[in-house]
Structure 1
Amino acid sequence: MVSVRSVKVDGESIYIFNSAIYIFESSMCYTLQLDVIVSEVVVNRYKTEEQLIIEVELEDGRIISSIMHLKTVPGGLPQLNLFCDIEDPDEYSGLDIVSESDSEFPDIETGITLEDIRKVEMPNEKVTLKLNLPINQVEWLKNQKARDLNAIIKELLESHLR
């Protein structure tokens, strides 16, 4: 089985935690499939896209470039499933061929946890809080910059989560 060395999406390198590249054989066609475990940040960046320009460098030095369709996989670890139809699977020597009748597909989630992924790239999310505070504290909060308030809240939460 050939393994993936690196992946670029629209010319930008993305960090991959694990991956599988293979050919899916159905009764109607052959499809080149690339499954990659990535960070939540990467999934959020591309999840609304239908097609992306993908460049895959394989461990043996070959480079596969293609416009691929994107399917995000719900549940489990953050991952992208990229695929495109191909005419001749022989052009992709060394790639495993998985048919629709196979009971197992490559499992790329084994040995990786969400905590491992978040150590590399932690996503940020906006939060709105409703508080009931004395007016002098409200006035002080209103006079602060968002960046400073974010730092204060982050520090406070980190000290309580330890």
Structure 2
Amino acid sequence: MSLTSDLLIKTVEVAAASFFTNSVATQHLSRNRNLSDTDETPPPLLALLRQVIALADHVADSVQSGGESAKRWQKLAICLAIDLAGAGSLSFPFIGDVLDVFYAPLSAVMVHALFASPLWAATAFAEEILPATDAFPTATIAWVAENHQYLSSLSAPSREA
């Protein structure tokens, strides 16, 4: 699994770097500027992508090492799957609404099993059963609410004396 995740991360890095390099080069050429100009900062999207890749690398390391951190990230993956399955009904006009009638209680049960919270379970049920709310990521938001202190500790700068 380590080799697979490392390979996936490197592939995304190379693809993103290639895409953004070509994008920046095209912008420079369209402005008739020299490509050797280095006075511009990288695009904000590239900086965001680097942060996402660094987070993915941290997640891969945490999952491989096991422990409490691995359980948190695995729980997030389950939450994302629940939300993606719920949003999938948007792909099927009219039929998706019928599917929501069956998926809403299932989603509520899964969210309750993950978070032991009747409030989050009711929110998940309402989100799935009400029209035009399927894209709302209830399970993922519940995970963020449960782990906000953990997430802020990841982004906090290290203090060296």
Is this a same-fold pair by TM over 0.5?
Answer: no
Answer with 1 or 2: which has the greater Rg. 1
Q: Point out the structure with the larger helix share.
A: 2
Q: Point out the structure with the larger strand share.
A: 1
Task: Answer 1 or 2: higher relative contact order, Cα 8 Å, separation at least 6.
Answer: 1
TM-score, length basis structure 2: 0.22
